[in-house]
Amino acid sequence: MKSILTEKQIQLTVKRLAHQVLENHLNLEDTVLIGIQPRGIFLSDRIVDELKQLVSADKILYGKLDITFYRDDVRNELKIANSTYIPFSTAGKNIIIIDDVLWTGRTIRSALDALLDFGRPAKVELCVLIDRRFSREFPIQADYAGRAIDTFPSQKVFVRWKENHGTDEVVLE
């Protein structure tokens, strides 16, 4: 097991990602943040909390997206869906999808399909904590990445959050 990010590094990374988003989307005008259920929510909640310290909370449009039924790789087994909470139209907005790990790109492809049900966005960007480069099955890349790492397909990246594991850390096994 190899440590990729410690608790302190995760805190700094989340702060940096929030600042990068704000740098490219001043005052978050026409910008929507969408966390992907279930694991991307931990990162998106923290990025939104950081943004609330930098801009007025009423300027932040934040939703949570479940992609369970849009996936193409879990159709043979029953999955329990999470909830989707997007109480606004995404039509014409700049959307920033937030997830914990970008690996094959299948999750993000599914998220793009699901987002179209809420309106046609002007632009979609991707923010991830960990970018597992060189493993893509789709031509998808992160616009904002906390850490880019090179891995073998047999390796697993575990993102642990205080909310569900009692500690913040990212490890490679």
**Secondary structure letter of residue 85 according to DSSP:** B
Q: The whole model's pTM is what?
A: 0.94
Q: For residue 136, with 0-12 CB atoms within 10 Å meaning exposed, 13-18 middle and 19 or more buried, which class applies?
A: middle
Task: Quickly count: other Cβ atoms within 10 Å of residue 47's Cβ.
Answer: 26
Residue-level pLDDT at 67: 93
> What is the mean pLDDT, run by run of 10 residues, along the chain of 173 residues?
97 98 95 96 98 96 93 64 90 97 95 94 98 93 97 94 95 96
Backbone angles phi, psi at 168, to 5 degrees: -100, 120
Q: Where are the domains of the chain?
A: 2-172
CATH code reported for the domain at 2-172: 3.40.50.2020
- Give, for 61, the enclosing helix (H) or strand (E): strand 61-65
Nearest-angstrom CA–CA distance, 129 and 159: 9
Pairwise CA distance, residues 121 & 91, whole Å: 5
Pairing mode, strands 169-172 and 2-5:
antiparallel
CA distances (Å), 90 to each of 17, 95, 112, 115, 143, in order?
A: 22, 7, 12, 8, 19
The confidence score (pLDDT) of residue 125 equals: 98
Per-residue pLDDT at 167:
96
Distance CA 133, CA 102 (A): 8
- pLDDT for 169: 97
Q: Hey, what amino acid is at 165?
A: H
pLDDT the model gives residue 70: 85
